Amino acid sequence: MIAVEVCIGCDDAAGVCRDAGAAMVGGAARVELCGQMRDEGLTPDWELVRMARAVFTQPGVLAMIRTRPGDFSFAAAEVRAMEGQIRRAAEAGVDGVVIGALGADGVLDRAALAGLVAAAKGRDLEVSLHRAFDATLDPAAALETLVELQFDRILTSGTPWRGAGGAVAGLKRVQALVAQAAGRIEVVVGGGVEPENADVFATALPGDRWSLHAYSGVRMDGRVCAERVRALVECGGGR
């Protein structure tokens, strides 16, 4: 079986509840709650987060923490705002947050990330790095920094941020990252992931410290489909 993380766009109460329920029925290990998916995911509305938390009753509710669209280089005031959003996320009952920050040079903003991680870990929240990872100039060096900063997970497609191709195209880099991580941090593989290609990852990736992240690949008619989530989970067979 493959651990699957389902991305849910938080646009309306009924939709969030339906999607969170379908993800749980389908066997998802986690859900990532994001506002404004048209902007590639921003911090969600906290009332909608609470609703999703009430439906997805097992551990594994994550909230995106991203104050604005655009690049991942944040001013000090924006970082402080994200620290406040982490507090709000904890109050809403999440189990983890999804964050990211880069310097203008394409290197992880270590100081900003350290503050965000401290805000999260001080509230017993898990921490994932979103696809700002794929915007770094040196993914191998970035992985080591994230291990040092005590991140729990990295989300990556193995291809450059906003570049062509998804996780299947980036499989070689994903393999290298999983090997480098060596169980020290979980590699979450996302970008065009769907039941129809999940066996590619199940065959190619070693060990069990990796998982799959899906958005459009588990949706039908604009909503999360429990059957497609289950199909994705079960593509791992006896893994």
Of 196, 204, 194, 181, the C-alpha closest to 224 is 194
pLDDT of residue 222: 92
Tell me if 220 sits within 8 A of 11, measured CB to CB. no
CA torsion 165→171→176→179, rounded to 10°? 140
pLDDT of residue 206: 82
Place of tokens 């915007």: 135
CA distance 239 to 234: 9
Dump pLDDT digits (tens) for 168-211.
Answer: 999 999 999 999 999 999 999 999 999 999 999 999 998 789 99
Residue type, 233: V
Query: What global pTM score does this model have?
Result: 0.95
No. of helices (H) and no. of strands (E), the chain:
8, 10
Number of neighbouring beta carbons within 10 Å of residue 145: 17
- Specify the length of the chain in residues: 239
pLDDT of residue 236: 60
* Average pLDDT over all residues of the chain: 95
CA distance 229 to 221: 14
Can you tell me the mean pLDDT for 27-54?
96
